[in-house]
């Protein structure tokens, strides 16, 4: 994953190589995060991962169409495949990040939710 992140700037923006690297990096993050969560939480990790993917995809659609809750933005056609104008990979990135942050902060007792919210945004 780190090698893919390091290699990304070496290729043209919008090029096929960058697109493939983005997909590889996100897939590696997602699979690693789900694997770690499965170790800690069993099958509940799969439900959590699926829920995060679905909810964040809905929020990305809402955000890119209405500007709520993040302000106005949209996606170019550079990252595919897309559904409703949102790259599908974006939700898997959110899930990988969220599960990773949850695992890192699971032993924090005070302010964990606030720390998680700051860490994933």
Task: Examine the pLDDT at 37 and tell me if it is beyond 90.
Answer: yes
Give dist(CA 56, CA 47) in Å, integer. Answer: 14
Largest CA distance in the chain: 44
The per-residue pLDDT for range 68-97, each reduced to its tens digit, is 998 999 898 888 899 999 999 999 999 999
The predicted model gives 99-120 an average pLDDT of 89
The per-residue pLDDT for range 110-120, each reduced to its tens digit, is 888 899 888 88
The model's pTM is: 0.86
Closest CA to 99 of 29, 6, 43, 42: 29
Neighbours of 31 (CB within 10 A): 13
Query: Which segment of 10-14, 98-102, 112-116 scores lowest on mean pLDDT?
Result: 10-14
Q: What pLDDT, on a 0 to 100 scale, did the predictor assign at position 10?
A: 75
The predicted model gives 39-59 an average pLDDT of 97
Task: Examine the pLDDT at 34 and tell me if it is beyond 90.
Answer: yes
Give dist(CA 78, CA 106) in Å, integer. Answer: 36
Q: Where are the domains of the chain?
A: 2-120
């Amino acid at each position: 994953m780190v090698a893919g992140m390091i290699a990304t700037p070496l290729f043209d923006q919008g090029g096929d190589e960058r697109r493939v690297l983005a997909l590889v990096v996100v897939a590696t993050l997602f699979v690693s995060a789900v694997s770690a969560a499965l170790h800690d939480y069993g099958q509940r990790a799969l439900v959590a991962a699926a829920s995060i993917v679905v909810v964040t995809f809905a929020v990305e659609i809402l955000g890119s169409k209405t500007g709520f809750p993040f302000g106005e933005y949209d996606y170019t056609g550079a990252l595919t495949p897309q559904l409703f104008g949102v790259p599908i990979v974006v939700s898997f990135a959110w899930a990988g990040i969220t599960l990773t942050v949850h695992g890192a902060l699971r032993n924090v007792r005070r302010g964990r939710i606030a720390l998680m919210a700051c860490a994933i945004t």
